[in-house]
Amino acid sequence: MKRDADRETRERLLDEAAHLFAERGFDSVTVRDICARAHANVAAVNYHFGGKTGLYEAVMRWAIRTMQETTEEIRRAGEGQPPEAQLDAFIRVFLTRVATTPNTWIHQLMLREVSNPTPSFDLILNEVLKPRMMYVRTAIAALIGCQLDDPRVANCVMSVHAQLMALVNNPLAGRVESEPLTGERAAALARHITRFSIAGVRAVASVSS
């Protein structure tokens, strides 16, 4: 019974810490804040995670595992497909998972890491961002018919990524002529962004580097 209670306490601490770190950032959250939200004794963070830093690292590992699952789903969807379908898989799976996942705190936390990096940022960069961007670079380079290091590839990757971030991090979602990112809208937008991006890449390909 004690083991079950310990596990439940640990899960509550992890869940509440994830949301608080995403809302306020690592430095602005105290152990007392987390324990109060999790209805846990203030000693619980040290007991389960060895302190606030250990808890933050556990939250980041959780976020990284979730993002890696998205990357793996993208790879499976695009495996053996032509580059157009690979790019479609990236856009469609990414937006669908963003729209349907209950872990919306992940994207907010990633924004905080980008703007104010902690020691965990290198882990995110190497285990999530670089592999995911390499997938997109490979698809775009194949569409253009050039090497991965061609400057046109980097510019096109940036353009595709910017469209997705404009939706994920849109502060006007649900206001001012902007609809919430529901599953149905995500699917429709994925189709649009894919068509728009492929047409853009092909236009870029028609211009010499």
CA distance 161 to 172: 19
The pLDDT, as a whole number, for residue 184 is: 85
Q: What is the pLDDT of residue 174?
A: 46
Place of tokens 């601490």: 13
Mean pLDDT of 28-49: 95
Question: Tokens 């993002």 appear where?
Answer: 67
Please report, for residues 14, 98, 193, the alpha-carbon distance to residue 93 in angstroms, rounded to integers and kept in the order given: 26, 8, 12
Q: Is 41 exposed, middle or buried (0-12, 13-18, 19+ CB in 10 A)?
A: exposed
Q: Which residue has the tokens 């149905």?
A: 184
Question: Could you tell me the domains of the chain?
Answer: 1-50 (1.10.10.60), 61-205 (1.10.357.10)
Task: Please give the average per-residue pLDDT across 123-128, as a whole number.
Answer: 93
